Structure 1
Amino acid sequence: MPLRCLLALVGGLVLAAAFEPVGLAWLMPPAIAALIFSVRGLRPGRAWIPSLLFGITFSYAVMVWMRAVGTDAWIAMCAVEAAFFVPLGVGLSWSLRLRAWPVWTALWWVGIETWRSGFPFSGMPFGRLVYASADTPWADALPWIGTTGVSFLIALTGTTLAWLVLQVRSPSRRAYAVVGALAVVTVAPLLVPFHVEESGTTTVAAVQGNVPGTGLDVVAVHREVSANHVRMTEQLAAAVAAGEEPAPDFVVWPENSTAVDPFTDPEVGAGIVSASDAIGVPIVVGGMSNDPLDEANVLNQGIVYRPGLGSGDRYTKRHPVPYGEYIPFRGSLIPSSYGKLRLVPRDMVRGTSLEPLRVGEVRVADAICFDVAYDEGISGQVARGAQLVTVQTSNAMFSLTGQLGQQFEISRLRAQETGRWVVVAAINGISGVVRPDGHVVASIPARREGVLVETIGLSSTLTPAVRLGVWPARFSLAFLIGHTAFVLVTYRQRRRRADRSDDQSEERGTTA
């Protein structure tokens, strides 16, 4: 057991190194294989131990950026995430006893990954295998099988690698056939790329206004932040008038480009109107606004401002961050006065609409910060007619960490999944424009100010991944439930048969 535990601890760290900022994606299969070897041969009652150790090192390493919020928050959140590796260890132990166990163990990985990505309080999707797959053949499968499918493919590569190592002592034709089939499935997207038809183009400007001072606390300097975005948009308007820049069809400001309600704050509202009138095209502003149904709450929105007309369509963030943007069960679990929770005086209400924004003549799928890590929001808007994707983000708190790189990689993968151009506007990094093949056309690094003006392709083509929607994720959860129920039922049946056999033995002994 000590060697198994050591292997699991190292395997978790190796898997974390596949993600940004290290970004060695090829480490994922050997890391998954290490987990399989650490669990293989153990009964379910012990298999959870190395699996939990794997989860601890992986979770704490891949999300070490959470320390920017607070060491206590990092410890608590990653403890919850690591706990999901307990049922994973049990499920792997069950699956390793079956024929074709590489498939069943890969399904268990994806099922647990899906579970922790949605629970509790909407879960934590960071650390999904697919989110380390940029610039790999696995990512080229995204438009065909989606994020859950690609995570399964990566997990299957790792479990098959473990199976192949076990076959080294007695190689067989079956081993070569299985590995060959897996190679074909992985490389097939390269041979048969998904074709996206463009229905037109539009020119988009993304503004990264930066945050004064340390750049870590937007709220403390929120008026300067808003003024920066107004100033840079007006400078863009002057450059367009001088023929130095192409005229955009609309402009995207990041999340928290205004941290107060622009409809009740005259200074901020006037600044937005001034910028919109200067550039003469709509601006998608990332702003906070009061909840019209309850003034005690707040909405985090992408608000379309139209020159001369004011506000239009709005998108409301679907996945506010628990204990960062709202406090679950406020006052009943953790006191609202504890630590940095004092900085969350009002709860942010989650949005529910999947209707794309109408920005001029273009329909836009919007995502705000952590929204980009969840499957249903962007793909749901694309399925309803969105022609391109915008991501508005304010991750200034994490600007000295690997979180920026991880989130930007997710945005790149969303472009491949949906077959849409993606425009990322970050408050102080990383902003960028991404083609549907995941290639970054232009970007602004962290802790800088700048404006990107790019011609963007529009499309109405729906990828198979968008058509599948969240059904692959639901299937993975159904597999967890079905396999668990099967194991429990068969165990109960075996116990009953064993009890009847014991009773019969006792009756024969009494008769004798």
Structure 2
Amino acid sequence: MVRWTGGVPGSGARALAAVVAGALPALTFPEPSLWWLAYGALVPWMLLLRTAPTGRRAVVEGWLGGLGFMVAVHHWLIPSLHVFTVVLAALLALLWAPWGWLVRALLGDPAGGPRAALAALVAVPCGWLMIELVRSWQGLGGPWGLLGAGQWQVAPALRLASVGGVWLVSLAVVAVNTAVTAVIALPRARVPVCGALGVCALAATVVAVAAPRPEESGRVRVALVQPGVLDGHDGAERRFARAEELTRGLAGRDLDLVVWGESSVGADLGRRPDLARRLAALSRAVGAELLVNVDARRPGPGGGIHKSAVLVGPAGPTGDRYDKMRLVPFGEYVPARGLLGWATSVGRAAAEDRLRGTRPVVLTLADGLRVGPLVCFESAFPDMTRRLAAEGARLVVVQSATSTFQRSWAPEQHASLAALRAAESGRPVAHATLTGVSTAYGPDGRRRGPVLATSASGAAVYELPLARGTTAYLRYGDWAVYGAFGALVALGAAAGVRRLSRGR
């Protein structure tokens, strides 16, 4: 009988195939949003890995596929970092090298039986999740392009996210890809693999139905102000004036909060009392507090530049502020500047490091509503929204600016992350930007209200349901990550015991 092996002739052709196959999952994220592709996007790469002639070759092709993946999901950084984007991607892609070996070890034998296939069904997704966990560390770039994030508009996936976070969604997506690969490549294992996948799907359905859901409790009316792209000099002043004009048009809309995007105010309000007075006048005109974002140097000795969410009421700044804690590598600071400072000469890396905040802050509005602010990149981190919700935030607000990447896939992808954060936390999330995409999501992760695209300059009002109670992810946190690590340890220990018993 002839069996399909998926081999690609020649090491050069295999290398190119690995890079292209690794890049395929990027199409599942916005802007393309081919979410359905995620459930087969890894199959070509995995079929290639399992046919690698040696374990060393599988390691190389794992690294090359990781390189393709990282460049594809971060391609929008190339205009800013140029060749440094590829250098960073090549370093982070090393995380996929052992995963390539793992795929070959478990799926590489065409005569492999059910035991190897079922072990792969557990180990391969868990191995992928460990890669996502490591590269999610802020110093390595943060959790951008997690595979599960491509399912942000799929209701069952959002329900899974409420149980185990985006991590559980990634596990499910990779498990399906592993099962498809095993069905194609291991004829003897088709029935048990399909049976195991069916059991997992049934278990996931039961858990999703039985898991706690926050109960709707009240409504909040939030306006998001998006000045849009403004040409010419004095950008900060013109941006402020445009946001001021748009906000004034919101008078009489019965609002609870008006949100401006990241870096919407380009001067410290203590140094510019005229700006503080203009903001206070706007608050009085619309009958709601304003949450603006100040990107400026603070007064005082040694004062550096912070990005701060600042609450402004009818009498002026209330004194409540949140300083951004997790900064964008190279965009807002240069890691190990003494070693990597040369990056500023080949791209638009930060000439001066921004300063970090020290703790999350939950702001309390005049009507008692508690709001948890995040600034831009921070919405990619599941733990930050979870912590704000645990500390009492009933609404999460993200202030963002992606104008540097206006004509790329980045604005749409960034806005989609708010859907996952809403589903995980069971809290509505509003995502306000300077130049798009601005939108909002309910506590179930479903989009509520209009979308202000990158071509828009305007303001939109969102009536969002508030929710009380908890989700399983709020209650138990990153249990999917710990479970995946434990499963890998158990499988490794079992393999070690079998090897020892054979050697006796």
- TM-score scaled by structure 1? 0.85
2:405 to 398, 403, 412: 398
2:98 is the alignment partner of 1:79: no
User: For residues 176 and 477 of structure 1, what CA distance do their matches in structure 2 show?
Assistant: 24
DSSP 3-state at the match of 2:176: helix
Tell me the equivalent position of 1:228: 242
State yes or no: 1:260 paired with 2:267: yes
- Give the direction of change, closer, same or farther, for the CA distance of 1:478–1:183 in structure 2 (3 Å limit): closer
In structure 2, relative to structure 1, the CA distance for the partners of 1:193 and 1:376 (3 Å cut) is closer
Structure 1 residue 284: Cα displacement: 0.8
Could you tell me which of 458, 463, 471 is aligned with 2:471?
A: 463
2:158 corresponds in structure 1 to 139
**Distance between the aligned counterparts of 1:384 and 1:472, measured in 2?**
22
1:154 CA displacement = 1.0
Identity %: 26
Match of 1:428 in 2: 435
| Candidates 170, 173, 177, aligned match of 1:151 | 170
Structure-2 change in CA distance of 1:269 and 1:345 (3 Å): farther
Letter in 2 for 1:152: L
> 1:377 aligned to 2:384?
yes
What are the superposed Cα offsets for residues 177-220 of structure 1, whole Å, 9 maximum, x if unpaired? 21321332455577567532122222211111123118xxxx96
- Report the equivalent of 2:4: none
Compared with structure 1, are the counterparts of its residues 153 and 485 closer, same or farther at alpha carbon in structure 2 (3 Å cutoff)?
closer
AA aligned opposite 1:130: G
Contact 1:378 1:389 in 2 (8 A): yes
Residue-by-residue CA offset, 1:126-149 (whole Å, 9 max, x unaligned) = 111111012333233111121111
RMSD: 3.1
Q: Secondary structure at the match of 2:41?
A: helix
Structure 1 residues 261 and 483: CA distance shift in structure 2, 3 A: farther
2: CA distance, partners of 1:182 / 1:165: 19
SS of 1:223's equivalent?
Answer: helix
The corresponding residue for 2:41 is: 31
Aligned mate of 1:329, from 314, 330, 336: 336
Residue of 28, 38, 45 corresponding to 2:56: 45
What's the offset of the Cα at 1:257?
A: 0.6
Look up the SS of the partner of 1:305 in the other structure: strand
Structure 1 residue 108 and structure 2 residue 127: aligned?
yes
Q: For the residues of structure 1 that align with 2:150 and 2:190, how far apart are their CA atoms? A: 32
**Distance between the aligned counterparts of 1:393 and 1:336, measured in 2?**
24
Q: 1:478 to 1:117 in 2, by over 3 A?
A: farther
Deviates more, 1:420-429 or 1:31-40: 31-40
Mean alpha-carbon deviation: is it higher for 345-354 or for 443-452?
345-354
Tell me how many residue pairs correspond in the alignment: 482
Secondary structure of the structure 2 residue equivalent to 1:348 = coil
Aligned to 2:287: 280
Alignment-mate amino acid for residue 82 of structure 1:
A
Query: Is the Cα–Cα contact under 8 Å of residues 82 and 347 in structure 2 kept in the other structure?
Result: no
Q: CA deviation at 1:116?
A: 0.8
Structure 2 counterpart SS, 1:125: coil
Cα deviations by residue, 1:395-420 (Å, 9 ceiling, x for unpaired): 11111110111111111121222112
The DSSP-based 3-state class of the residue aligned with 1:367 is: strand
CA apart distance, 1:107: 0.2
Deviation at residue 2 of structure 1 after TM alignment: 4.2
Q: CA deviation at 1:267?
A: 4.1
The question of whether the paired residues in 2 share the 8 Å contact of 1:206 and 1:425 is answered with yes
Match of residue 90 from structure 1 = 101
Distance 1:171 1:314 in 2: 58
- 1:13 paired to 2:45: no
Give distance in 1, aligned partners of 2:491 and 2:198. 31
Residues 185-194 or 380-389, more deviating? 185-194
Matched residue, 1:407: 414
In 2, the alpha carbon distance for the partners of 1:26 and 1:336 equals 37
Per-residue CA shift, 1:353-379, capped at 9, x if unaligned?
234222231111222111111111111
Cα shift at 1:352: 3.4
2:68 equivalent among 57, 60, 76: 57
- State whether residues 299 and 317 of structure 1, in contact with CA within 8 Å, keep that contact through their aligned partners in structure 2: yes
Residue 305 (structure 1) aligned with residue 312 (structure 2)? yes
Aligned twin of 1:504: none
Q: Are 2:164 and 2:478, in contact at CA under 8 Å, matched by a contact in 1?
A: no
Q: Is the 8 A contact 2:309 2:373 kept in 1?
A: yes
d(CA) in 2 for partners of 1:24, 1:411: 18
Q: Is the 8 A contact 2:440 2:462 kept in 1?
A: yes
AA aligned to 1:273 is: A
Structure-1 separation of matches of 2:444 and 2:389: 16
Instruction: Mark the runs of 5 or more structure 2 residues left unpaired by the alignment.
Output: 1-6, 109-115
Counterpart residue type for residue 71 of structure 2: Y
Shift in CA distance, 124/60, structure 1 to aligned 2, threshold 3 Å: same
Relative distance call for 1:309 and 1:414 in structure 2 (3 A) is same
Q: Take 1:226 and 1:474, find their aligned partners in 2: how far apart are those partners?
A: 46
Does residue 130 of the first structure (1) align with residue 164 of the second (2)? no
Alpha-carbon distance between aligned partners in 2 of 1:363 and 1:235, rounded to the nearest angstrom: 25
Instruction: Give the stretch that moved more between structures: 97-106 or 355-364.
Output: 97-106
Instruction: Give the residue type in structure 2 aligned to 1:65.
Output: W
Partner amino acid, structure 1, of 2:266: A
Max Rg structure = 1
Question: Which of 413, 420, 426 does residue 419 from structure 1 map onto?
Answer: 426
Q: Residues 225-280 of structure 1: CA distance to partner in whole angstroms, max 9, x if unpaired? A: 1111122112222xx1xxxxx21011111111112222223443333233223223
**Deviation of 1:118 (Å):** 0.9
Going from structure 1 to structure 2, the CA distance change for 1:336 and 1:130 (only over 3 Å counts) comes to closer
Moved more, 185-194 or 482-491: 482-491
Return 5+ residue gaps in structure 1 as ranges. Answer: 241-245, 502-512
Give the Cα–Cα distance (whole angstroms) in 2 for the partners of residues 305 and 416 of structure 1: 29
